Amino acid sequence: MLPKSWLLAVLLLIGCESLPKVVRLPVAQADRERAFQLVREGDLLAAKKDFYAALIKYLDAGKLDPSNEVILNKIGIAYLYLNFPQKALEQLRKAVALNDQYASALNNLGSAYFAAGNLGRAMRYYRRALRLKPDEPSFHVNLASAYMEKKDYPRGMEEYRIALRLDPRIFDRMDLVNVKAAVESAVDPEKYYQLARFYAELGEEERALENLVKAVDVGFDDYRRLHDDVAFASLQDDTRFTELAERLRTR
């Protein structure tokens, strides 16, 4: 029988992810400068949501400076926006292998795993990013999204509240990849119901109603629960809310 210390070591090895071995290559100064000029051009295209064109710029930059974690992170983000999570994983794992203290790459690697459906690894990398930058609200939003997908709604709501304390306008910037995970489940009515309660308690009535509609559309059907929920007290006189409640009552 193996000693307990050996068994623990085996379990730790099983739980660890093996990142690729990446060698940092020497790059001529002229190539480095040209690479970052291409990155700046890619950033301008990404700001216009032209992610295919941005990706081409980032890939060209990567040819000039192939072991630069910032460029690899940019390529990974572009692949995430274009819904290629496996390609994003390949680039972001290299970025983290080069610099395991690069919080943005750790966070985006979490989002790539989220998009690929691996919530365990997604949460692991979100937490690693937060250990490096605990005051980054977008990282808390991503971890919250992962908790919500796991149906751990109390922890998800707490992470959302932390994000809002850090940046009251964080949800106005939800179009950034490093703010939201790339793919979220669309079939969990409870998740949308909990988000609706969260927004209603914040006084965000439009977002509360938007999530209530989503909850009903994907299967929420508990009229009595909705009717009696004090979180929606501020919506009781809103015709959109009463029509939605009536829609449930008459099902």
Q: CATH number of the domain at 133, please.
A: 1.25.40.10
Question: Are residues 248 and 222 in contact, defined by beta-carbon separation less than 8 angstroms?
Answer: yes
Q: For residue 157, which of 179, 135, 141 has the smallest C-alpha distance?
A: 141
Pairwise CA distance, residues 208 & 100, whole Å? 38
Q: Which amino acid is at 123?
A: M
Q: For residue 212, which of 238, 178, 176 has the smallest C-alpha distance?
A: 238
| Total domain count, the chain | 2
Q: pLDDT for 18-57, tens place per residue? A: 788 877 888 999 999 999 999 999 999 999 999 999 999 9
Domain end residue (candidates: 132, 162, 185): 185
Say if residue 161 is in the same domain as residue 193: no
Domain that holds residue 133: 100-185
Q: Which amino acid is at 183?
A: V
Average pLDDT, the chain: 87
Q: Six-digit token pair at 230? A: 């004090």
Q: Six-digit token pair at 179? A: 């703010």
| 142 is a domain residue | yes
| 22 is a domain residue | no
Domain end residue (candidates: 168, 185, 202): 185
Say if residue 126 is in the same domain as residue 156: yes
| 106 is a domain residue | yes
pLDDT of 25: 82
| 181 is a domain residue | yes
User: pLDDT category, 187, cuts 50, 70, 90?
Assistant: low
| 156 is a domain residue | yes
Residue 117 has φ and ψ, to the nearest 5°, of 90, 10
Say if residue 180 is in the same domain as residue 132: yes
pLDDT of 174: 60
Domain end residue (candidates: 137, 169, 185): 185
Q: How many CA atoms lie within 13 Å of 107's alpha carbon, on the beta-carbon side?
A: 27
Task: Tell me the pTM.
Answer: 0.81
Say if residue 231 is in the same domain as residue 241: yes
Q: pLDDT for 104-153, tens place per residue? A: 999 999 999 999 989 999 999 999 999 999 999 999 999 999 999 899 99
Q: Six-digit token pair at 212? A: 């209530």
Say if residue 201 is in the same domain as residue 237: yes
Pairwise CA distance, residues 172 & 175, whole Å? 8
User: pLDDT category, 16, cuts 50, 70, 90?
Assistant: low
52-66, 107-121, 189-203: range with lowest mean pLDDT: 189-203
pLDDT of 182: 43
User: pLDDT category, 84, cuts 50, 70, 90?
Assistant: very high
User: pLDDT category, 4, cuts 50, 70, 90?
Assistant: very low
